[in-house]
């Protein structure tokens, strides 16, 4: 039976969900205060990071965190004026790093990633989107044998999850895949099945175009309240009210404010990510480059180079600290000696993150007519097609491909 569904959020999650629901025959309207891919979905690294199954909340994180937090430009930082506000979230992060919960998170993340890989291939084929995909793999780089040996437990875990990779232990092997790296990088792990989009903004625009061509609607409206009313939901936005059969809440870092009105207090925080995009010719990037011990990546976007990453837990309202983007660019120039750092464009975006690194996917606790699809952290692009299929199954009242118990809204 066709239903009228409102999807709140026009990022990669919201648009993917909307397209899936429209393909299933539902009347779908997307509401977003700024428009398609106007927030975090436009400026990320463009990676479909299916091998990234290990959560930020990992065993031993407390040993690393003080050093990171003391460095305002390091891989993980908290601005001093935000420290008290985020303390409860950090406490949950610490609890999620205990071995029992960590292993449960890895298992849940792995199941979602396996679905995500297959779902993305279906989405690419369904939307004729192959021209926007780069299948060049990923190099995770290490400075010396010590860093490499420390990483081996993580590679063993990837192997257990069926992830393909090659471990490289000579600079010459690395140079065959990516020439031009500083020789301090002596070891690496190469994941050949890693994929990127040529441009995350263009990818979401492409999905939105297919959605609209299929009869879907996208409106610029700022949703301010949700209220279940029997078998429907009243959606209040700046321009008025509408009543619909179901709502999918996929508003990224702003989602928890609307969920709170429905009785769900979800501990969502923002990983503020920074990057600099350099023009075509800045460097010959041949694969996605991950400098894990420095918290950033270098990737090819529209033929240019994007240098970005790190985690700043600073909420939605503090002004950007673009010194972080500058610090990443300076490191990239050291690691890629031929990199031309001129003509760059800086950017900052809000990644919606939960303490256990898992998203919320499933119905609101007090009404089945609102479905949550948010909190994917830096994996929103990666998990978007899978999330869309799972939400489609929920709307159609069908069994989901994977268990959604680890992603339920009330797990906190």
Residue 3: which pLDDT band, with cuts at 50, 70 and 90?
A: confident
- Give the residue numbers spanning the domain of 229: 4-42+201-267+357-407
Question: For position 65, what pLDDT does the model report?
Answer: 61
Question: For position 84, what pLDDT does the model report?
Answer: 87
Residue at which a domain ends, from 353, 376, 395: 353
pLDDT tens digit sequence for 152-163: 998 998 998 888
Question: For position 90, what pLDDT does the model report?
Answer: 87
Q: Which of 78-82, 87-91, 245-249, 274-278 has the lowest mean pLDDT?
A: 78-82
| Helix or strand holding residue 245 (H, E) | none
Has residue 173 got a pLDDT over 70? Answer: yes
> Is 125 part of any domain?
no
Residue 54: which pLDDT band, with cuts at 50, 70 and 90?
A: confident
Co-location of 242 and 277 in the same domain: no
Residue 165: which CATH number? 3.30.9.10
Co-location of 257 and 238 in the same domain: yes
Q: Which two tokens stand for residue 311?
A: 């985690």
Residue at which a domain ends, from 327, 353, 379: 353
Has residue 75 got a pLDDT over 80? Answer: no
- CA-based nearest residue to 367, from 215, 263, 273, 283: 263
Residue 64: which pLDDT band, with cuts at 50, 70 and 90?
A: low
Co-location of 214 and 92 in the same domain: no
Q: CA 37, CA 202: separation in Å to the nearest integer?
A: 9
Q: Measured at the alpha carbon of residue 15, what is the angle toward residues 12 and 21, in degrees to the nearest 5?
A: 135
Has residue 9 got a pLDDT over 90? Answer: yes
Question: For position 328, what pLDDT does the model report?
Answer: 94
Has residue 149 got a pLDDT over 90? Answer: yes
| Helix or strand holding residue 190 (H, E) | strand 187-191
Mean pLDDT, all residues of the chain: 93
pLDDT tens digit sequence for 216-235: 999 999 999 999 998 999 99
Q: CA 53, CA 113: separation in Å to the nearest integer?
A: 7
Question: For position 82, what pLDDT does the model report?
Answer: 87
Co-location of 290 and 330 in the same domain: yes
Has residue 20 got a pLDDT over 90? Answer: yes
Co-location of 82 and 146 in the same domain: yes
Residue 26: which CATH number? 3.50.50.60
**24-33, 44-53, 63-72, 317-326, range with greatest mean pLDDT:** 24-33
Task: Please give the residue that has the higher pLDDT: either 391 or 313.
Answer: 391
Co-location of 373 and 393 in the same domain: yes
Question: For position 68, what pLDDT does the model report?
Answer: 60
Question: For position 53, what pLDDT does the model report?
Answer: 86
Our count of domains for the chain comes to 2
Has residue 63 got a pLDDT over 80? Answer: no
- If you count DSSP H runs as helices and E runs as strands, how many of each does the chain have, helices first? 10, 21
Q: Which two tokens stand for residue 378?
A: 């830096």
> Is 324 part of any domain?
yes
Quick one: average pLDDT of 203-213? 98
Question: For position 1, what pLDDT does the model report?
Answer: 53
Co-location of 384 and 320 in the same domain: no
Has residue 170 got a pLDDT over 80? Answer: yes
Has residue 180 got a pLDDT over 80? Answer: yes
Angle between the N-to-C axes of helices 12-23 and 99-127, in degrees from 0 to 180, rounded to the nearest 10: 60
Quick one: average pLDDT of 239-253? 95
Torsion, Cα of 137, 302, 309, 357 (10° steps): -60
Residue 66: which pLDDT band, with cuts at 50, 70 and 90?
A: low
Q: CA 50, CA 156: separation in Å to the nearest integer?
A: 16
Co-location of 326 and 392 in the same domain: no
């Amino acid at each position: 039976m066709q239903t009228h569904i409102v999807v709140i959020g026009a990022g990669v999650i919201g648009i993917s969900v909307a397209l899936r629901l429209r393909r299933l025959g539902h009347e779908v309207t997307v509401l977003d205060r700024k428009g398609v891919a106007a927030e975090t979905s436009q400026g990320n690294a463009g990676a479909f990071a299916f091998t990234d199954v290990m959560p930020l909340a990992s065993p031993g994180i407390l040993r690393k965190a003080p050093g990171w937090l003391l460095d305002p430009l390091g891989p993980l930082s908290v601005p001093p004026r935000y420290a008290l506000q985020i303390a409860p979230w950090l406490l949950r992060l610490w609890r999620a790093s205990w071995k029992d919960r960590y292993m449960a998170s890895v298992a849940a993340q792995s199941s979602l990633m396996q679905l995500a890989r297959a779902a993305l291939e279906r989405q690419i084929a369904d939307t004729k989107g192959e021209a926007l995909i780069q299948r060049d793999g990923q190099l995770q780089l290490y400075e010396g044998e010590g860093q490499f040996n420390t990483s081996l437990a993580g590679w063993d875990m990837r192997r257990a999850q069926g992830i393909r990779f090659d471990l490289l232990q000579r600079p010459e092997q690395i140079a065959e895949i990516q020439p031009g790296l500083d020789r301090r990088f002596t070891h690496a792990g190469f994941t050949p099945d890693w994929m990127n989009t040529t441009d995350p903004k263009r990818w979401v625009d492409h999905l939105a175009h297919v959605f609209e061509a299929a009869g879907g609607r996208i409106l610029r409206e700022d949703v301010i309240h949700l209220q279940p009313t029997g078998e429907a939901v009243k959606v209040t936005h700046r321009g008025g009210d509408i009543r619909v059969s179901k709502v999918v809440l996929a508003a990224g870092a702003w989602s928890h404010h609307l969920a709170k009105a429905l009785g769900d207090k979800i501990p969502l925080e923002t990983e503020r990510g920074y990057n600099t995009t350099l023009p075509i010719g800045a460097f010959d990037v041949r694969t996605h480059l991950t400098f894990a011990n420095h918290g950033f990546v270098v990737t090819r976007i529209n033929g240019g180079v994007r240098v970005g990453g790190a985690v700043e837990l600073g909420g939605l309202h503090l002004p950007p600290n673009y010194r972080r983007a500058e610090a990443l660019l300076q490191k990239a120039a050291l690691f890629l000696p031929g990199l031309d750092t001129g003509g760059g464009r800086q950017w900052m975006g809000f990644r919606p993150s939960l303490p256990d690194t898992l998203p919320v996917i499933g119905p609101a606790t007090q009404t089945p007519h609102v479905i949550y699809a948010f909190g994917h952290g830096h994996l929103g692009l990666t998990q978007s097609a899978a999330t869309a299929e799972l939400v489609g199954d929920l709307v159609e009242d069908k069994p989901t491909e994977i268990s959604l118990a680890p992603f339920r809204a009330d797990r906190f």
